[in-house]
Every structure is written in C-alpha cells, then in structure tokens.
Amino acid sequence: MIVVFAMAGVIWGIGAAMKAPKQARWIMIGLLLTGVIAINLILPDGHPMREGLGGDARLWLLILAFAGLTLAYRTGLRRLRSRVVDQAPPPPVAGTGAPSDAELRRYARHIALREVGGPGQMALRRARVLVVGAGGLGSPVIQYLAAAGVGTLGIIDDDTVDATNLHRQVIFRSDDVDEPKAIAAAQAASALNPYITVKPYNRRLTADIAPELVADYDLVLDGTDNFATRYLVNATCVAAEIPLIAAAITQWEGQISLYDPARGGPCFQCLFPEAPDPALVPTCAEAGVIGPLPGVIGTMMAVEAIKYLTQAGEGLRGRLMIYDALYADTRLIAADRREDCPVCGG
C-alpha cells in the first residue's frame, strides 16, 4: 500500500511542478487506483504483486469511493455557494443618506485632501465600479477601492484560488485555496469596509451578459490576463460610453491607461488593433511574475479610478504608462484615437 500512496504522491508532485490542473492530477491518481483494483481482481490470492498492493480489492474500492464522495461533496458545496450568491436579493443601495460619524472618521485623510474633500468622498460613496478579474491586478484594486469607500463594488471572475496565486494575489489567504475568487474577494472587501456594497459574480464575462452588467456601473477596471476578454470589455464600455481603466503585467513590466473615447480619448483597440501571437505574450504561469508588481500596477489602477471619480488631478486618458520594475523606469507614451478603429473610430 505504501508503494501506491508513494506513486500517487509522485503523480501529484509532478503535476504541480508542470502546473497541471488539479482535475487532471486527480484523474491520473484515479487511473492509478483503478489499475490497482484491477490487479487485485485479476491476480490469484497469494500472488506477490497482489499482496504488495494490499491483497484485497475491496479496500481500494472503499478508498476510491471515499475520495469520490469527498470530491462530489466539495463540488456540490461550491456550486451551492455560487447559486446562493447569484440568487441572493440585491443589497441596499450604497451611498444614500448622510454619512455616519464612523464613516467620516474612516475617510478623514481623504476629506483633508484639497483635491478630494467632502464632495469627492461623497462622489466615491455614490460611485458604482465594476472590477473584471479578481487576480493579481484585481486584488489591490478591490482592496483599495473598498478601503476608499467606493459605494458599490462589483467583482466578476469565474476562477478559483490556487496556491500559486498567493505570492501576489494578496487579497486571498491560504484557507481560500479552491474557493471561487469572486466570492473570496468579496468577503475580504466586505470585512475591510462594512459601509460599502460588494456584488460578486462567480462567472465568466461573456458577450451575452456584458452589456447589461456593465450598464449598471459608472466605471470599469479590467485586470484580466487574456486578450479575448480585454477586447470584449473594451467594446462593451465603448458602446455604453463608460470609461475603462485597463492594465496588464508580465514578468517585471506593467502598463496602464484610461480608455475613454466618449470623452476624446482612444479605446483599447486603438492602441492594440490585433491580439499578438500568444508565443510573444506568455502568461504569468509560463513566464513568471515578480510578486509585488501586480500590487504596484493594481494600486495605480485604484489611484486612477479615485482620481476619475473625484475629478482630481490629471488622469491617463490619451496616455499609456509603462513601468519597468527591473530597471526602476517609468515611461509615458502619447496614445491617440484611430479614426479607422473598428470599435470607436469614425
């Protein structure tokens, strides 16, 4: 039996090293157990191989059944939690009524800023912001916008927390592994600031739901890691005339801009007309990423969002900021709207 458990451990370890999905690793271990059961059924009593594998198929059948029941229970519980969140009645509208003394004390350092003040903090309190992606960039965005008092914070993500996320997605804890990111992030944001409304959407953003969802918000922040979703978010925001703050990171470098063609700026597709070859833009899993980088760029996203909502300072509309952490270099590149852009041009 020890040999079988050792083989299962090797399979799991190799799968983890190769970044194989957990489902694939469980399937391989299941095939291993199936083979062990078959050997115990086929070989005669007393056969050395059968004895070395426990000598009785019923023991392995019990182990396999227990593992299957545990997996089914976890899957069912996760789906039930998602269904409860999706079907829950809408929370009360945030930002209504006069702020309490506790809120005024909480936001006192914001209110003391000349560029924000009381009117700016009330604008944050009334604001509705949608965060697409609760990963590396979404983590600091959600934390800082929640702490800043953004009245309604929407979070959409269909992924679950993985142990490899924890070195950079600091909104999550070890106990959140295998939990839906949208729900875990929403719980963290609500714990951070009970005076805001957090709305998690544990699902992928698709073309059939994007227009209706985005229309409920004043500002969208996109921190996703694939071009298909980025183009979808951009097109939806352009159609709804809602500003979009989007950023991306890889290895040691990040970039961020405010895309707002309704107010004279370019859209995302003006700057990136076509998605690059995937081989030229490896994912974080493929190329790696330094842990604090998403925090740097994600925090910049939160700052730009607060500036936009409070009308403070000068934002990144029409400018692309590129940050190189490895060489401590920051560049600003002018970004113009393209008249031939298929999304916002003409």
Asked whether residue 59 is assigned to any structural domain, the reply reads yes
Q: What is the pTM of this model?
A: 0.73
CATH of the domain at 312: 3.40.50.720
Q: 114 with 78, same domain?
A: no
Provide the pLDDT for residue 95: 54
User: Do residues 285 and 319 both lie within one domain?
Assistant: yes
- Domain match, 79 and 100 both: no
User: What distance in Å separates the CA atoms of residue 321 and residue 256, rounded to the nearest whole number?
Assistant: 5
Residue 344 covered by a domain: no
E strand or H helix at 207, and its extent?
none
CA distance 38 to 60: 10
Domain housing 34: 2-83
Asked if the structure places residue 346 within a domain, the reply is no
What residues contact residue 142 under an 8 Å CB cut-off, 6+ apart?
131, 134, 153, 155, 171, 185, 188, 189
In sequence order, what are the residues at sequence separation of 6 or more whose Cβ sits closer than 8 angstroms to the Cβ of residue 108?
none
Q: Is residue 120 domain-shared with residue 195, that is, in the same domain?
A: yes
Query: How many angstroms separate the CA atoms of 337 and 329, rounded?
Result: 26
User: Domain check: are 140 and 163 in the same one?
Assistant: yes
If asked whether residues 131 and 268 sit together in one domain, one would say yes
Predicted pLDDT at 188? 96
Number of folded domains in the chain?
2
Residue 133 near residue 222 (C-beta atoms within 8 A) = yes
Residues 22 and 304: their CA atoms lie apart, in Å, by 37
**170-226: pLDDT as tens digits:** 999 999 999 999 999 999 999 999 999 999 999 999 999 999 999 999 999 999 988
Q: Is residue 340 part of a domain?
A: no
In the three-class reduction of DSSP (H, G, I as helix; E, B as strand; rest coil), residue 112 is classed as coil
Residue-by-residue pLDDT tens, the chain, 346 positions: 676 677 777 776 786 777 666 667 777 777 777 877 777 777 777 777 766 666 776 776 777 777 777 777 777 766 665 554 444 444 444 555 788 899 999 999 999 999 999 999 999 999 999 999 999 999 999 999 999 999 999 999 999 999 999 999 999 999 999 999 999 999 999 999 999 999 999 999 999 999 999 999 999 999 998 899 999 999 999 999 999 999 999 999 999 999 999 999 999 999 999 888 776 676 777 778 899 999 999 999 999 999 999 999 999 999 999 999 999 999 999 999 999 999 998 5
Q: 202-218 as b/e, with b when 16 or more CB fall inside 10 Å?
A: beebeeeebeebbeebb
Give per-residue pLDDT as tens, 82-124.
Answer: 554 444 444 444 555 788 899 999 999 999 999 999 999 999 9
Cβ–Cβ under 8 Å, residues 331 and 322: yes
| The pair of three-digit structure tokens given for residue 157, joined into one six-digit string | 């993500």
pLDDT, residue 85, reads 46
The SS3 call for residue 201 is strand
**What is the token pair recorded at 195?**
């005076």
Residue 154 three-state SS: strand
Residue 80, pLDDT score? 62
Same domain, 20 and 45: yes
- Count of beta carbons in the 10 Å neighbourhood of residue 180: 24
Instruction: Out of 83, 105, 127, pick the residue that ends a domain.
Output: 83
What does the pLDDT read at residue 39?
77
Helix (H) or strand (E) holding 318: none
For residue 91, what pLDDT is reported? 44
Please report whether residue 217 resides in a domain: yes
Q: How many secondary structure helices (H) and strands (E) does the chain include?
A: 14, 8
Same domain, 145 and 260: yes
Task: Tell whether 91 is covered by a domain.
Answer: no
- Cross-strand bridge partners of residue 298: none
